[in-house]
Amino acid sequence: MKGAIQVRELKKSYGSHVVLKGLDFQIEQGEIFALLGVNGAGKTTALECIEGLRTYDSGVITVNGKMGIQLQSSSLPAYIRPMEAVNLFAKWNRTKIDYAVLNGLGIKEIEKKLYIQLSTGQKRRLHLALALIGNPDIIFLDEPTAGLDVEGRLSLHEQIRKLKSYGKTIVLASHDMTEVETLCDRIAILNNGKIVFCGTASELTDKVGRKYFIHIKTQQGNRTFETENMEDALISMLGELKQKEIPVLDMKVNRGTLEQHFIKMARRETE
């Protein structure tokens, strides 16, 4: 695949505080790529440098295509109406309005409202619609489903997958690990100004180890165990409880989630 974005030795400091310490990664054309990081890791700074919204100290950023950006903290004039904003952005971009995209995001339902009257979720949908005006090749989505209800989230996920099917490259920043795992082809974890992992969710699982979490409910309370060998752990724990004559009321076994793997990777690099 052709690289949509290449980042090489990207460095950025705010005074004496070094935020980015030489980032190196590539985002392929047509993939959904997530940049993850704990608070203060440098994720927002990295994205703003790539988007051209912030200057950086050194390094090389190559963007192959037109960008559309949906910021987490976007805002519009209080008394503008959604379609007025759409028409204004279309004129700026010298492009026609794609009403199929607007309808898919539910803009028709809110077109007569003032911006100040929109809910958080409605504003998020409008901001995404504005980001898509001009038919960008690369789309940056910062917390795109924040404030959306379940139906709105599912609808937006469907729209994101449709954009990918059209060959669009999507760069996603999200704190919702279920969303990331569901949508993204690859993820990069940024911690302390460096990329500590870049690959698929399955590769992250392999790197941190395939853990099982065993949850056992007894009359004496709930207990959770973490193990790599589920069979031996179950035999040992159940044998111990039976020997102590402690009845097991319920039991659940699951694999580690992407969120647990992400946290473990971040902790591993800082310990």
* pLDDT tens for each residue of 127-179: 989 999 988 999 999 888 777 777 778 878 888 898 899 999 999 988 777 78
- Are the CB atoms for 164 and 32 separated by under 8 Å? yes
Percent over 70 (pLDDT), the chain: 90
Q: What is the mean pLDDT of residues 229-252?
A: 83
Higher-pLDDT residue of 121, 243: 243
Residue 219 has pLDDT above 70, yes or no: yes
CA pair distance 147, 128, nearest whole angstrom: 13
Tell me the average pLDDT of the chain.
85
| pLDDT for residue 254 | 67
- Least confident window among 24-28, 36-40, 236-240, 256-260: 256-260
The single residue listed with the structure tokens 């004039």 is: 77
pTM for this prediction = 0.76
171/219: higher pLDDT: 171
CA-closest candidate to residue 127, choices 151, 146, 154: 146
**Alpha carbon distance 105, 148 (integer Å):** 12
The identity of residue 92, as a single letter, is W
Q: What is the pLDDT of residues 64-110, one digit of tens each?
A: 999 999 876 678 999 999 999 999 999 988 999 989 888 888 898 99
Q: What pLDDT is attached to residue 247? A: 87
Q: How far apart are CA 21 and CA 13, in angstroms?
A: 9
